[in-house]
Amino acid sequence: MTDRITTLNLDQGYLASGAERNKVLRNTYWLLALSLVPTVLGAWIGVATGITMALTGGIGLIVFLGGAFGFMYAIEKTKNSAAGVPVLLAFTFFMGLMLSRMIAMVLGFKNGSDLIMTAFGGTAGVFFVMASLSSVIKRDLSGMGKWLFVGALAIMVGGIINVFVGSTAGMMAISVAAIGVFSAYMLYDLKRIVDGGETNYISATLALYLDVINVFQSLLALLGIMGGERD
């Protein structure tokens, strides 16, 4: 959830024509769907090999933040070139690896597979609702950006603190807040595309991908805490 904040620095661009807006939206949806493939692959490799299980506490936080910010810097630098899509997909593979530790923990529950599918279905439902709203809401939502930034910053700080505190109640509170903030970010980012405020589909995909992955992992954490059944 921490890395979503950097997308606020993306160039606003110019207002695109209707045809270009539709093209950007279409390409964004296709690339977002494609980005889930390396994410799933990275998560599967992480669970199968246990490569991320040792990344706990401060070490895990450093690896995650260093990798995430490094990749997003590279995406920003290559978003207008042929290298942009491969770099983005490499980032989503990395995010899958980082997510594998949580997935492995959830799979340790008797109903772990059901919890993962519920989190996936819930995330898909949130995305569908926000995509539908973005196409019918006529109001300019650009003013939401600064408030969402504050919310995301608070979640980031809270998440970092909780890495060291290890509070279950804190994790639940952070997860609930993240679901709300990043669901709203989905609407905000989709509306920017629909209104022509975002004209680069790689940047648009990165923003939406971060929204989706944060909602998913927050839902999964919440479901694991509240509904995990041990053998």
The token pair that represents 11 in the structure block: 């160039």
Q: Which residues contact 7 (CB under 8 A, 6 or more apart)?
A: 72, 203, 206, 207, 210
The two tokens of residue 89 are: 């997909």
Tell me whether residue 57 is exposed, middle or buried, using C-beta atoms within 10 angstroms of its C-beta: 0 to 12, 13 to 18, 19 or more.
exposed
CB 212 within 8 A of CB 162: no
Average pLDDT over residues 87-103: 93
Task: Please give the helix or strand (H or E) that residue 169 lies within, else none.
Answer: helix 168-194
pLDDT at 115: 93
- The pLDDT assigned to 168 comes to 85
pLDDT at 150 > cutoff 60: yes
SS3 per-residue string spanning 87-119: HHHHHHHHHHHHHHHHHHHHHCCCCHHHHHHHH
CA distance 201 to 140: 20
Measured CA to CA in angstroms, residue 90 lies from 25, 36, 59, 143, 196 at distances of: 22, 11, 21, 32, 27
Look at residue 22 and tell me whether its pLDDT is greater than 90.
no
Bigger pLDDT: 196 vs 123: 123
Q: How much is the pTM?
A: 0.86
